[in-house]
Structure 1
Amino acid sequence: MALSAFDLFSVGIGPSSSHTVGPMRAALMFARRLKDEGALAATAAVRVELYGSLGATGHGHGSPKAVLLGLEGHAPETVDVAAAEAEVDRVRSSRRLRLLATDLGEAHPIGFDPDTDLVLYRRRSLPAHANGMVFRASDADGHPLLTGTYYSVGGGFVVEEDADGTARIRVDDRQPRHPFRTGAELLALTRATGLSVSALMLRNEALWRGEAEVRDGLLDIWAVMRESVERGLSEEGILPGGLRVRRRAAASARRLRAETGGAAHELEWVTLYAMAVNEENAAGGRVVTAPTNGAAGIIPAVLRYYLDFVPGADADGVVRFLLAASAVGMLFKENASISGAEVGCQGEVGSACSMAAGGLAEVLGGTPEQVENAAEIGIEHNLGLTCDPIGGLVQIPCIERNGMAAVKAITAARLALRGDGRHHVSLDKAIATMKQTGADMSVKYKETARGGLAVNIVEC
């Protein structure tokens, strides 16, 4: 499986990459299959079933809304965030769905009652992954036309199940110039080529696009990240979902600006940058999976730290940061998981912290060994982190947790740069430990809202 930096960093909407972005993509994939297989015109009804973590916390994560938008032809990267709620309200009130209306530019209306045709099974799961979905289309006589089973495996990635029950990701199977599956292989390649981690990644991205296109694309990704920071630092009010969580980033930023001694407040700004993004995510705004929505604030916050507080920081550094961070992220995706429903929050916030630490070490002049060391420190001190958000919402503890992890990533990078890259625990061993820990972790602590803070804090 050949992964690109643009697979890990993709533009979507909040509040969750696995519960919002993934279901929207799956619904769009299914609707397009109906069209491609010539079944769209005959389709009179669609039934959607969400299982496992999607069923348990889907309402809090906006999964039903995402499914409806996807069936109507919307994609996460292009959907009009401001108009999305009104479109979903139209479907709910009219009980009519327009299959692929946005995608095709014309409507294929069907009757659809979200209360009965979109079912969330809170305690039933599908075999391949905790985030399972089944879509069924039938004709006017109730005869089945098409069934599709999909899994949202974290970071917006969607796996479609084959007829034999095997779940496979449809990806480009070509090999990049310098393929690697482990941190050890990545370091061996940097030694053999004399390239930095980011330079090696830039060569690999040439499998899909030219160097200038890679740079422009990553700067576009950064532009979306930067905008989510700025929006989060300006918006106030109450986040949706019933907990009545107050947005704090904007008010805290105003107070911080009024104080003196800016350099003394570096880490406070980093915390606010991360919280600003995740408040935007919780509000259903546009963010970048980095590598997931639940952890979307960490990499933008550390990048802002680099640009605001590191002398000589520039756009080339942003590109190198994101390339090095994506190399680290690929190791998690390849060898463990970035899904909170599969391994807990260590797979989301933990992997993002590791990626940010590696990216910062790269642009601060670290050797490949120091980059690997920084990434290892970042994940090592997030091992065992549970995913138990209150009310199934990506708010408590998720928003503050992004701020804490962003600071931790900076500490990890600085600590690694004080050494020479030699250390006892390799990044590969830490990732393997994360995977094992996730397997041992009770399902209560893997995005089901059945344990931890989710049950010990009374919802208000």
Structure 2
Amino acid sequence: MFLSVFEVFKIGIGPSSSHTMGPMSAANRFLALLASSEWPRPAGAVVSHLRVSLHGSLAFTGVGHASDRAVILGLAGERPDTVDPDRMDAIIADIRQKGAVEPPGHPSYAFDCEADVIFNRKEPLPGHANGMTFYALNADGAILLRQVYYSVGGGFVLTDTELTAWKDAKDFPAGESDEGTIPFPFRSAAEMLDMAKRSGLTIAAMKRANEEARMTRGELDAGLDALWDAMHGCINRGLKGEGVLPGGLNVRRRAGQLYDKLSRAKLSNQFDPLMANDWLSMFAMAVNEENAAGGRVVTAPTNGAAGVVPATLRYFREFQNTGGKEATRDFLLTAAAIGGIIKTNASISGAEVGCQGEVGSASAMAAAGLAAAMGGTPEQVENAAEIALEHHLGMTCDPIAGLVQVPCIERNALGAVKAVTAASLALKGDGTHFVPLDNCIETMRQTGNDMHEKYKETSTGGLAVNVVDC
């Protein structure tokens, strides 16, 4: 199942792709459905009131992930890629005062920000841990339209029927659903390596050919450059950020202070064998501190893991890069190819498989991208991804107080360090290794299925219950 680089990487807002961006996008989709003729509106019926119920992981950690705020903003017509983070508080305050949302192109709908966002912790929806039910009611409170959506990770949102079709698509024979639409329809790492061998192309070149089957080269390059600009800008904003992150844990931003120390050491030529790790960690922490503050980020492949790929790419550009824009584009295309394989065959959702699916996937993507940008063969690239993912297997998702702060920020830093280490190890070999990437991905899927729900983004186990959230 083909996933574009622009589906793997999305520009949005923090703190969570599945719990913030997903619910906002679901609200956008519900508004579009309301305005369409694609539902059986009773004769003379008028929608006057909206309501939403959050289920599963969204119910347990929705407040910490700002899921309620995201739904409210989405029903007001705001979108993850265009909403102004500096205006969100004012928009919500206006809705609270009016008791209504007024999305563009729609009438005013009654909406009580407290009563009409329901955190239903008792009734999980059957399709996925991140379920939502949107309701449109008439003036008497009768339900005119009910629609279920699932936020399946990385900002992807599916209806209940779409989710069933998506799961069925995973059962297609390899490449069947993409035959005839893209030149290299690989669904696994083994297929990817086989196609690279037969074509003589790199992974980035095959991914580029797939993308250019649906857009022009100019459009693709402009989009890739925009992704890097957004990542780079997020790092820079994070390095300038100060103070305490919102949410009540009183976590202080550290990236800016670390940047000052490392910059002084660099200028004075002070040698420190750990400095490479420090720069990587700093870049990743800058992104995830910005994400925790609700700022503009790029899902890579999720918000909770948004710091790994940008940190690794920024480190490459500042300390290794000799390839200019093309090397950066190859990095992103290769990373997206690996991310697409992982999402197709396992998951990138912490609510489904724990943090191995978020930071683990991001580390594998970053390792592959770095190996490719540094001239690695397809076999070395696949090896780099496998090394990085293998050493995240079993990682739980247990954010304290449901906030994407502890341990998430530092996990991104270590994910970036592992990515660079994995790429370095792979590039020093010939690509031959014991565990294929596909087997590692399948192991992650099985481990996630076996993992208890309390360790999958519900904040009911692990660090979330063993550290006082004060």
Change (3 A) 1:374 1:52: same
Tell me the alpha carbon deviations over residues 66-117 of structure 1, each in whole angstroms, 9 at most, x when there is no partner: 001111111100111110121112222332221x22xx3xx52122112211
Structure-1 separation of matches of 2:135 and 2:321: 56
Instruction: For residue 195 of structure 1, report the CA deviation from its aligned partner.
Output: 0.1
Equivalent residue letter for 2:236: E
Give the 5 Å matches for 1:58-457.
58-98=62-102, 100-101=103-104, 104=105, 108-162=107-161, 166=164, 168=166, 175-259=181-265, 260-261=268-269, 264=272, 265-457=275-467
Secondary structure of residue in 2 paired with 1:127: coil
TM-score, structure 1 length as denominator?
Answer: 0.95
Matching residue's letter, 1:64: D
Query: Quick one: which amino acid aligns to residue 344 of structure 1?
Result: G
Provide closer, same or farther for how the CA distance between residues 223 and 458 of structure 1 changes in structure 2, counting only shifts above 3 A. Answer: same
- 1:2 corresponds to which residue? 2
Q: Count residues in correspondence.
A: 454
Match of 2:34 in 1: 34
Q: Which moved more, 1:111-120 or 1:127-136?
A: 111-120
* CA distance 1:168–1:430, shift in 2 (3 Å): closer
Offset at 1:312?
Answer: 1.1
Separation in structure 2 between the aligned mates of residue 170 and residue 144 of structure 1, nearest angstrom: 31
SS in 1 for 2:394: coil
Deviations 1:287-333 (A, max 9, x none): 00000000000000000111011151411110000000001001111
The offset of 1:263, in angstroms, is 6.8
Once the two structures are superposed, residues 429-450 of structure 1 have per-residue CA deviations (whole angstroms, 9 ceiling, x without a partner) of: 0000000000000101000010
Tell me whether 435-444 or 108-117 shows the greater mean CA deviation.
108-117
| CA distance, structure 2, for counterparts of residue 139 and residue 309 of structure 1 | 60
CA distance in structure 2 between the partners assigned to 1:317 and 1:407 by the alignment: 20
Gaps of 5+ in 2: 170-176
Secondary structure of 2:240's aligned partner: coil
Between the aligned partners of 2:245 and 2:61, the Cα distance in structure 1 is 17
Letter in 2 for 1:383: L
Q: Name the % identity.
A: 53
- Matches of 1:41 and 1:97, distance apart in 2: 19
Paired amino acid for 1:141: D
Superposed CA deviations along residues 224-280 of structure 1, whole A, max 9, x for unmatched, are 000000000001011111111101101111122122337742221111000000000
**In 2: Cα distance, 1:110 partner to 1:364 partner:** 54
- Are the counterparts in 1 of residues 321 and 327 from structure 2 also a CA contact under 8 Å? no
**One-letter code of the match for 1:149?**
V
Task: Please tell me whether the aligned partners of residues 160 and 167 of structure 1 are also in contact (alpha carbons under 8 angstroms).
Answer: no
Using the TM superposition, name which of 306-315 and 186-195 deviates more: 306-315
CA offsets 1:380-432 (integer angstroms, 9 cap, x no match): 00000000000000000000110011011000000000110000100000000
Instruction: Structure 1: give runs of 5+ residues left out of the alignment.
Output: none
Report if aligned partners of 1:96, 1:109 keep a CA contact under 8 Å in 2: yes
Deviation at 1:170, TM superposition (A): 13
CA drift of 1:160 comes to 0.7
Determine helix, strand or coil for the equivalent of 2:158.
strand
TM-score normalised to the size of structure 2? Answer: 0.93
User: Partner residue of 1:12?
Assistant: 12
Contact 1:386 1:446 in 2 (8 A): yes
